[in-house]
Amino acid sequence: MFFGGLTTDGPDLFSTNGGTPLHGLTTVVAVTDPDKGPRGLSTFVVPVGTPGFSIGSHGRKIGWRIADSVELFFDNCHVPASAMVGQRGEGLRQILTTLSIGRMRIGPSG
């Protein structure tokens, strides 16, 4: 439900560096406009310690271990509209841009 912010429930599996000791926040992409499909995704910053937000277990990895993968849980967690990154509906574009930049930086490193 989106009204002046986001209230969400449920898990987010395999979140990279989500709320790890590296920083005190995580970014979450959530569906804010279900009828718009991929154009209905928006990105939010969620600080560790937000009521209703908790971090679960760390995933075990075989290969790439430099970035933790964790489970994130949301139990009636309210995230204010001011925590939105960019404009509503830009989440997919932001995800794809981040992946592209990461690939360009990791590729040359071998």
pLDDT, one tens digit per residue, over 86-99 is: 999 999 999 888 87
Per DSSP, 101 falls in state H
**pLDDT of amino acid 36:** 94
Residues of the chain with pLDDT under 50: 1-3
Phi, psi of 48 (to 5 degrees): -60, 135
Phi, psi of 61 (to 5 degrees): -120, 150
Helix, strand, or coil (residue 99):
helix
